[in-house]
Amino acid sequence: MSRIKVVIAGCSGRMGKALLEGVLQSDDLALHAARAALANARIKASAIDLIVLATSTPDQTFPATAVSVQAGLGITHGAAFDLQAVCSGFIFALAVVDGLLRSGAHKRALVIGAETFSRILDWSDRSTLVLFGDGAGAVVLEHVDQGGFLGFELGADGSGGPDLLQPGSDGSTACWPHCGSRPGSCAACSPSSRRSSSAPASPA
């Protein structure tokens, strides 16, 4: 058992985590999961008219990672967008898609959850390191006249937000795919460099 697995088992009860190798990104994991879900459901990609992808580690600010998956599946119709709700993201995505299917706006959807937290983890912080990994999962949902989900009870309490925070202005999810370095580890992509290069000039 590797050291990281020992740490995880001792702190969280988990026996291991998955971490990406090479230059794979969230859309790679999401596309793989989407294809598996379609195969399991025995449904062609062309029958999908909605893709909702829950992720807190998108490959770029825009376009949405969901449209990368849409393109990878060869779909050129319907809607595709990302949803960000961190740990609860997949449940929120299910609720959103359920509502859209019930409304009749869409007939068949892919709901995907994909994360590459290894790109933004603080590897020196054992309190958070053991909780996050990389992975993806997907399901196919379709409109039905009877049955389906009984309902959802969603909620949030933003007062604890500062206790577990990933700033959105440091380029952490954009650095790794472009320069090949871990987020913030190269001169061009470091938070201090990005802030200094983008800071407005002082008034004369």
Which residues, 6+ apart, have CB-to-CB distance to 4 below 8 Å?
A: 17
Q: Could you tell me if 90 and 55 lie in one domain?
A: yes
DSSP 20-42: --TT--HHHHHHHHHHHHHHHHT
Counted domains in the chain: 2
Q: What is the pLDDT of residue 18?
A: 53
Residue 5: inside a domain: no
Which residues in 27-123 belong to E strands, given as ranges? 50-54, 79-83, 108-116
Our CA angle for 56, 58, 60, nearest 5°, is 140
Per-residue pLDDT, 183: 47
Sign of CA dihedral 3, 7, 13, 18: negative
- Indicate if 31 and 110 belong to the same structural domain: yes
Spatial distance between the Cα atoms of 34 and 118, rounded to a whole number of angstroms? 21
Distances (CA, A) of 141 to 10, 30, 50, 52: 37, 16, 10, 11
Beta bridge partners of 110: 51, 140
Assess whether pLDDT exceeds 50 at residue 33: yes
Domain ranges, residue 29: 23-142
Same domain, 131 and 184: no
54 pairs with which residues across the strands? Answer: 83, 113
The whole-model pTM stands at 0.71
CATH assignment at residue 89: 3.40.47.10
Same domain for 112 and 66, yes or no, is yes
Mean pLDDT (whole number) for 87-107: 91
Which of these three, 126, 142, 158, is where a domain ends? 142
Q: How confident is the model at residue 84 (pLDDT cuts 50, 70, 90)?
A: very high
pLDDT > 70? residue 69: yes
**Band of residue 198 on the pLDDT scale cut at 50, 70, 90:** very low
Q: What is the pLDDT of residues 118-141, one digit of tens each?
A: 777 677 777 766 667 788 999 999
Greater model confidence, 199 or 172: 172
47 and 111: one domain?
yes
Q: How confident is the model at residue 90 (pLDDT cuts 50, 70, 90)?
A: very high
In a domain, 156, yes or no: no
Q: Is 133 in contact with 118 (CB distance < 8 Å)?
A: yes
